[in-house]
Amino acid sequence: MTTLKISDGLVKDDLLVVGLVSTNTKGGIAIESGDLALDSKSLLASLLEMGATGKADEVTKMPGGPARLMVFTGLGPKSSTYSHEVLRRAAGSASRALAGNSGATFALPTRDLAGVSAVAEGAALGAYVFNDFRGSSKDSHKSALKSATIFSKLAGKSEAKEITNRASIIAKYTHLVRDLINTPPSHLTPDSFTKKLAASFKAAGGAKAGLKITIWDEKQLKSQGFGGIIGVGQGSANPPRLLYISYTPKAKNVKRFALVGKGITFDTGGLNLKPGFGMEAMKCDMSGAAAVCAATLAIAELALPVAIDCWAPLAENMPSDTATRPSDVITIFGGKTVEVLNPDAEGRLVLADAMVKAQSGKNKLDGMIDVATLTGAQVVALGTRTGAVMTNNQSFSDSFIAIAKETGEQFWPMPLPVELRASLDSPVADIANRGDKNGGMMVAGLFLKEFVSDDLPWLHLDIAGPAFNEGKPHGYTPVGGTGVSMRSLVRLVEQA
């Protein structure tokens, strides 16, 4: 983990990251170094010579200046107020470009503690590499930037420590989500997912931090009527699990949220086998489960005064002679029956079990959020960087969208049009798991809605697009697992 500090002094011999902006359309540039107020005249000529433009995601390195190495990170067009996300991304790009180094100081145009916080977050989020599965090539791959110092005259403030502490926790758990997603399915089965989480649970303080963990194995799932998780997992030699983590804060009379995450450790499509090309990306199909579990541990480490019930239904969707057949009927926890017309629409089946279970406890819930890489249609609708939000409660959705704007995670509201519901009618069971192909993201949302009590505020986050980056790295986002939704879940709880 990258060590974070805030300082109002420069460390000699360190690397110095400053902002670079474009000032006009003719290639003009300027340096933005915030409180450092770097004298930049001599540097600008060299930067122009090198073709630096100051656009976002451009990182230019140059020896000299007041440090061993100057690192210019693009902020885009010059402005009097840079958004937190612009700062976060610029810090992240620089920190990615500095992999292999021990330390760097970030002097960016922050105006207040929130800006400093964004730079700290970006620097830590960008300092991520995943080399766990490299063998003989391990040594030729750089490790992440070891320490980041944020230059700010607010360094002496009492809040400074709080900022670095929070940013470190956010980054640590984003990295946990990314690690879990990037871990190949050969090494991440439903059972090993629960074991990895049990280890993180301990490291987060376990029972002392107010946490509790419970795991259902396949026998218990079967005898207790979790037909969705069993039905999806029964084709695999790696049996399914249900993981529950609860967090109870010290404070009394607090709000309680249920977080439910889709945990398909690999989605082959089952007997509705997916095409081979691109199937490898389906190791990301447990991103929702990873995000809700990591968010719960982060919430506990931050000791936030909100109770959390976190549920991760875990299964591997495989084709075999024991796999669920198209037209099989399964019974979801609580008694609703589902005709499985398409075994590749498996996420909604495991989620339905967990969502009904989440609502069956004795403690009243104030809200429920499910997070899932649920549909290819989500990617078609919103692309690879924006997640979808569906809901039965407009104001809950509005507040989440506002929070996501703040955390820099891109989410957009989508409707749940009632007329699409009829396409899920089954001739034999209560509901079918596949409906109209058009609007498939919303059809999936409508399926889940059937398992949510009307008076419980509920959000469904479909992160099929943004959970896994198959393109180039950008800002603080690496290739592979991104960790999306974790930060917004934590922020939602912070503001509850």
Smallest gap from Cβ 288 to Mn ion, in A, equals 13
Find tokens 């993981």 and name the residue: 243
Choose from ligand BES, Zn ion, Mn ion, none: what does 456 bind? Cβ within 5-8 Å by kind: none
- 351 is a site residue for ligand BES (CB under 6 A): no
What tokens appear for 20 in the block?
A: 């670079």
Nearer to ligand BES, 105 or 373 (CB): 373
Give the DSSP per-residue string, 303-330: T-SSEEEEEEEEEEE--STTSPPTTEEE
Q: Residue 493, SS3?
A: helix
Cα-atom radius of gyration of the chain, to the nearest Å? 23
Is residue 139 within 8 A of residue 100, CB to CB? The reply is no
Residue numbers in the known binding site are 262, 267, 285, 344, 346
Find tokens 């207790």 and name the residue: 224
What is the per-residue binding string for ligand BES in 424-453, x denoting contact by CB under 6 A? ----------x-----x-------------
Catalytic residue among 166, 283, 348, 357: 348
Nearer to ligand BES, 421 or 434 (CB): 434
d(CA 440, CA 449): 14
- 342 is a site residue for ligand BES (CB under 6 A): yes
At 94, give phi and psi (nearest 5°): -65, -45
Nearer to ligand BES, 3 or 342 (CB): 342
Residues in 375-394 that interact with ligand BES by CB under 6 A: 375-377, 379
Give the one residue of 58, 85, 339, 344 binding Mn ion; rule: CB under 5 A: 344
Residue numbers in the known binding site for Mn(2+) are 262, 267, 285, 344, 346
- 267 is a site residue for Mn ion (CB under 5 A): yes
Smallest gap from Cβ 462 to Mn ion, in A, equals 13
What tokens appear for 472 in the block?
A: 């180039």
d(CA 442, CA 445): 5
**Burial of 194 (C-beta count, 10 Å sphere; 0-12/13-18/19+):** buried
Q: How far is CA 249 from the centre of its chain?
A: 23
Smallest gap from Cβ 284 to ligand BES, in A, equals 6
Give the one residue of 32, 285, 309, 353 binding ligand BES; rule: CB under 6 A: 285
Q: Which residues face 367 on adjacent strands?
A: 257
Residues in 221-280 that interact with ligand BES by CB under 6 A: 267
- 373 is a site residue for ligand BES (CB under 6 A): yes
Give the one residue of 464, 484, 489, 490 binding ligand BES; rule: CB under 6 A: 464
Active site annotation includes 364: no
Q: How many residues bind ligand BES (CB under 6 A)?
A: 16
What tokens appear for 37 in the block?
A: 């107020």
Q: What single letter denotes the amino acid at residue 383?
A: G
Active site annotation includes 202: no
Nearer to ligand BES, 439 or 457 (CB): 439
Q: At what angle do helices 159-182 and 486-495 cross, to 10 degrees?
A: 140
d(CA 70, CA 176): 31
Is residue 306 within 8 A of residue 366, CB to CB? The reply is no
- 301 is a site residue for Mn ion (CB under 5 A): no
Smallest gap from Cβ 212 to ligand BES, in A, equals 29
Smallest gap from Cβ 60 to ligand BES, in A, equals 35
Segment interacting with ligand BES (CB under 6 A) among 134-142, 188-196, 325-333, 344-352: 344-352
Nearer to Mn ion, 135 or 276 (CB): 276
Catalytic residue among 5, 157, 274, 336: 274
Give the one residue of 85, 316, 344, 353 binding ligand BES; rule: CB under 6 A: 344
Smallest gap from Cβ 251 to ligand BES, in A, equals 38
Nearer to ligand BES, 183 or 373 (CB): 373
Give the DSSP per-residue string, 245-309: EEE--SSSS--EEEEEE-EEEEE--TTSPPPSTTGGGGGGGGHHHHHHHHHHHHHHHTT-SSEEE
d(CA 291, CA 390): 18
Q: Residue 64, SS3?
A: coil
Smallest gap from Cβ 374 to ligand BES, in A, equals 6
d(CA 311, CA 197): 12
d(CA 248, CA 308): 7
Residues taking part in catalysis: 274, 348
Binding site for ligand BES (CB under 6 A): 267, 285, 342, 344-347, 373-377, 379, 434, 440, 464
Interface positions with Mn ion (CB under 5 A): 267, 344, 346
